[in-house]
């Protein structure tokens, strides 16, 4: 689970889709009914999982800007979205290098891929047409308090709604439990708050912090749990998490880390034998001014 490889994003996408809060999806659909053509800005889009999850739910005419700083992930998004559309009987047409049009009788999606650094390039976004909906999935636990405050102010200027999903909430529960689970979780949560390119990250505090910022700006905010509930058949995702977390803990826990290696080995053994279940807490947030 090092960085954000396309393989890691592919592995987590089904678990993310299953975890999303149905109550917030219902609120999003009700909000959508009040808008005709919809313009969406997806922050940290990776290969486009947010679009794949939401496009059918939102339906109709949509313009999406998929924004990420990783050109390889954006290139993969182009291929993955084309395949996604063709599997659903839609036509897919390129318009220049960065724009893809997907359509069928009932839906028209215009997808623009933007390679931008969210830490530096907000000015370039200001020049674009204002989005009505800002989305992000598995992003805001990486950012700082200052960055979130800038995001909240910018959304308020645009009068945009926000759907910000799958922000880690700090909770991890393994079954069966082991003695060092809590010790590892504490190191993971410390690692969550290290700098991920935006200054000190908020980690598990990000979603409640954003909710508070938006309420102060007169938004109506809904914050709901969206945990991953992983069973024996999710062994690949459990293993990727175990590897990533072990690495994160090793990175910052003072050595020697024999206890950590033992813990990791036992956990891997349980996963391989089909005896491991894991839940990881997240928050989903929807906010609008209407």
Contacting residues toward ligand SAM, per CB under 6 A: 4, 9, 44-46, 49-50, 68-70, 73, 117-119, 137-139, 142, 197
Q: Which is nearer to ligand SAM, 46 or 131 (CB)?
A: 46
Q: Which is nearer to ligand SAM, 39 or 50 (CB)?
A: 50
Shortest Å, Cβ 270 to ligand SAM:
26
Shortest Å, Cβ 45 to ligand SAM:
5
Shortest Å, Cβ 56 to ligand SAM:
17
Q: Which is nearer to ligand SAM, 143 or 214 (CB)?
A: 143
Count other C-beta atoms under 10 Å from residue 181's C-beta. 16
Q: Which is nearer to ligand SAM, 73 or 184 (CB)?
A: 73
- The CA distance from 63 to 153, in Å, is 22
Q: Which is nearer to ligand SAM, 199 or 274 (CB)?
A: 199
φ/ψ (deg, to 5) at 180: -90, 10
267 alpha carbon, distance to own chain's centre: 26
Shortest Å, Cβ 40 to ligand SAM:
13
Shortest Å, Cβ 33 to ligand SAM:
25
């Amino acid at each position: 689970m090092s960085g954000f490889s396309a393989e890691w994003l592919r592995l987590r996408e089904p678990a993310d889709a299953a975890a999303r809060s149905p109550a917030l999806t219902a609120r999003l659909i009700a909000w959508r009914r009040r808008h005709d053509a919809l313009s969406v800005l997806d922050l940290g889009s990776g290969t486009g999982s947010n679009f794949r999850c939401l496009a059918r739910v939102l339906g109709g005419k949509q313009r999406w800007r998929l924004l990420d700083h990783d050109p390889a992930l954006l290139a993969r998004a182009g291929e993955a979205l084309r395949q996604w559309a063709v599997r659903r009987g839609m036509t897919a047409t390129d318009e220049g290098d960065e724009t893809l049009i997907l359509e069928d009788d009932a839906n028209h999606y215009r997808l623009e891929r933007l390679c931008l650094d969210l830490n530096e390039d907000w000015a370039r976004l200001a020049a674009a047409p204002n989005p009505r909906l800002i989305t992000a999935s598995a992003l805001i636990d990486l950012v700082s308090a200052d960055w979130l405050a800038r995001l909240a102010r910018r959304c308020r200027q645009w009068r945009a709604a926000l759907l910000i999903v799958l922000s880690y909430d700090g909770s991890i529960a393994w079954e069966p439990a082991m003695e060092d689970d809590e010790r590892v979780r504490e190191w993971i949560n410390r690692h969550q708050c290290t700098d991920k390119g935006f200054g000190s990250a908020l980690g598990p505090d990000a979603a409640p912090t954003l909710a508070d910022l938006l309420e102060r700006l007169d938004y109506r905010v809904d914050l709901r749990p969206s945990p991953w509930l992983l069973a024996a058949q999710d062994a690949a995702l459990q293993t990727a998490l175990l590897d990533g977390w072990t690495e994160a803990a090793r990175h910052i826990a003072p050595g020697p880390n024999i206890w950590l290696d033992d813990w990791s080995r036992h956990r891997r053994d349980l996963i391989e034998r089909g005896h491991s279940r894991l839940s990881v807490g997240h928050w989903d947030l929807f906010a609008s001014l209407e």
